A and B are shown apart, each in its own frame.
Chain A
Amino acid sequence: MSQTIIDVRNICKTFKIHKRGTGFKGAVSNVFHPRYEYKKAVNDISFNIREGEMVGFIGPNGAGKSTTVKMLSGILYPDSGSINVAGYIPHRQRKQYVANIGVVFGQKSQISWDLSPLDSYELIRHIYKIPPTLYKQNLERFTELLDMGGFINQPVRQLSLGQRMRADIAASLLHSPKIVFFDEPTIGIDVVGKDKIRKFIKTLNQTDNITMIFTTHDMQDIEKTCDRLIIIDDGKKLYDGSLEGVKRNYVSSRIIEVELEDSHTEFDIPNVTISDANNSKMKKIISFDAEKVSINYVMSELINNHSVRDISIKEPEIDAIIRDIYEGRIVMR
């Protein structure tokens, strides 16, 4: 078992939000009696991450993901609680600490728009004081792995979003960080581009034993890269465990798709929902809660009472599960 590298205990962060009145009257009274609202962006979150782990952070917009990542990377002070990453307290020992981490913001590039990625890398080499041999070695390796040979000398403004993102990821890794935070690294990128990025991240995690934290809205990102998932909503941690665990523990709904010989069949099975499949009248979709109705029972009802041409059992998509968790339809146990 490898060592704990990130230790977060009971962190909270509250933001004071200026509440603005509407209309002219509101605007005037605002100046004289400003009203504030307090929003708990992060509310008592704790977790541990071991060295070399790859953890996905998901949650709806405004759930507190970015705030958590910003506290972990030393940008924000937590109001209370403690954070220890690789032996450092990020917000207190910022300068020494950030030499050990890399941060990739999908929405905020760190390479200069008007220059080539290579120009920006040169500056990064200076800022991080990267030894020449390490710099050369990393640059060659990432150029190859991320397939950047074709555009590393072109101005960034001429690159596609996918290329720019790859160049950005390389920029965050040149100093060989121990921990890398990815904040929505695949946002707005096409399928092929996403795939390249995921493969690279996965490879790097395995070969270099870099600890990675990955925030995203794209469940595919998580499915293809992360072994562990932390779900955050409304500033609280809802789930922490494997991706399989989400499906197993929190989802008991099952879907059976049947194709029938006769389209005018009437069903009479209690506690199930039946709907037409959109592509064929002969197909029906039967969904039910496996805790209330056993699969066995539904299956035997179908086969005994109807002439079935084809049948398949499906697990719900992870996207749908997560949506249900956000919307409170699945209660965490």
Chain B
Amino acid sequence: MKDTISLFFAYAKLGLKTRFQYKVDTIVTSFAVFFRESAGIIAMYLALLKFDTINNWNIDELIFLFSLIFITYGIFIVFFMALRDFSDWIKHGDFDRVMLRPRGLLTQLLLCGADWMAAFGHGTLGVLLFLFSANRVGIEWNFATALYYIVIVISGVLIQGAIFLIFSSISIYVVETQSLKELFYWNMRKFAIYPLSIYNKFIQSILIFVIPFAFVNYFPAQFFLRKDDMSAYPEFFMYLSPIVGTVLYVIAYAFWKFSLRYYKSTGN
């Protein structure tokens, strides 16, 4: 464990050193991510000035819902960048190099490739939104609620990590998975910005059972907010995120392990 952490810092040191070879680009990238994502929130804010609420969720509650997406993504991208871009790793033969090193494959992939600038951009935005909304939505913060918040953030990271681990496993067979990611991750993420209850049954089922983004932000947020629209779903869904995260990750990991056998290195 200690050794794994020290390896993480060795990778991080090198990654940051690389980024700071291009100081201007690095700073601009962080700000670009920050402003690009902020624009979405500003658009939502302006829309709400007209409607006041969406399905009885006011702006503060929506921002709380939104902040979970950014915070989990900010952490996700520290560990899962190599899996997010895994097609490229295969195409460029970088995965061969990973296989030639005496460490676990997934250990190396998870530790080595932090996208620090995106992490900084998304993370900062997430934390700002959280700080802005956390008190205004009337959450009573005590040890138990704070602990559960940490648990759901970890679960959210795990769910998204598992989704990308599945994409990466598919990459082993077909190499390019860009459109799959577009369809099943980025589009679902856009849906997850708003409360689940505003969508029709079909989209809701996908967000609950197929790409369980609802367990990244909607159901955990309901634990804190207890809005009326939760009555449409079983109450235990509010507590299910850690289980969904763990089970999905275990399934993804088994699929990954199985798929490695079929890895065909690209030619020179």
Contacts and interface: CB of A to CB of B under 8 A. Distances in A.
Contacts of A66: 267-268
A76 B3 contact: no
A238 B22 CA distance: 51
Interface stretch (A95-103, A197-205, A222-230): A95-103
B10 A108 contact: no
B18 to A, nearest CB: 5
B136 interface: no
A28 interface: no
Contact of B97 (A62, A94, A110, A184): A110
B5 to A, nearest CB: 11
Contact of B14 (A74, A75, A112, A184): A112
B14 A123 contact: yes
Interface residues of A, number: 34
Contacts of B11: 123
Contact of A98 (B101, B263, B264): B101
A119 B15 CA distance: 11
B44 interface: no
A76 B6 CA distance: 30
Interface in B1-39: 3, 6-7, 10-11, 14, 17-18, 21-22
Contacts of A307: none
Interface residues of B, number: 26
Contact of A95 (B22, B104, B264, B267): B104
B93 to A, nearest CB: 5
Interface of B: 3, 6-7, 10-11, 14, 17-18, 21-22, 93, 96-97, 99-104, 108, 261, 263-265, 267-268
Interface of A: 15, 62, 66, 70, 73-77, 94-96, 98-99, 101, 103, 105, 107-108, 110, 112, 114-115, 119-120, 122-123, 126-129, 155, 183-184
Q: A-B pairs with the 9 shortest C-beta distances? A: A99-B102, A126-B10, A114-B18, A114-B21, A75-B99, A98-B102, A103-B100, A108-B93, A75-B265
Given A98-B102, A115-B18, 9 more contacts: A95-B102, A95-B104, A96-B102, A105-B268, A108-B96, A108-B97, A114-B21, A115-B21, A127-B103
12 contacts: A95-B102, A96-B102, A98-B100, A98-B102, A105-B93, A107-B268, A112-B14, A112-B18, A119-B17, A123-B11, A123-B14, A126-B7
